[in-house]
Amino acid sequence: MPETRNAAPDNLPSLLESHRLWAATGGTHGARADLRNLDLVGRSFWRTDLRGALLDGSDLAGANLDHADLREASLRGTRLASASLWEANLGRADLRGADLHGAKLDHADLRGADLAGADLEGVSLVHALLDEDAGQGARP
């Protein structure tokens, strides 16, 4: 049975701007983006600053996250199937149990990312930056 996700809020652009301010000021201004369990299928987050954002359980299948900054973001159980993450920064991101099958992670920075239990079937990692033990515990 498919998981139920909430529709993206109408004020998503202002939430993302508030998060950008939060990330840029080390949390002294703005607010951390809580985008957990949302339906964000096919949306564009090109060059979006999502450092430290909460995206657990969201559906980002087919989304454009090219050049997005997802350092230290929480993406546990997030569906990123067929998403484009070209040159995305996922350093120290939590991707445990994420569905990345068919995603494009070419030139992405995955150093320090936790990929335990992630589905990496068909993932493109051309010139991606990876730790030596990256993918341990991930499903091919």
> Helix, strand or coil for residue 41?
coil
Per DSSP (E only), the strands in 8-73 are: 38-39
Tell me what pLDDT residue 135 has.
Answer: 59
pTM of the model: 0.92
Per-residue pLDDT tens digits for 72-95: 999 999 999 999 999 999 999 999
Q: Where are the domains of the chain?
A: 1-140
Tell me what pLDDT residue 83 has.
Answer: 98
**Token pair in block for residue 87:** 């040159």
Measured torsion, CA atoms of residues 20, 25, 28, 34, in degrees rounded to the nearest 10: 30
Residue reference for tokens 């995603």 = 103
Chunked mean pLDDT (size 10), the chain, 140 residues: 81 97 97 98 98 98 98 98 98 98 98 98 97 68
The CATH fold assigned to 1-140 is Pectate Lyase C-like (2.160.20)
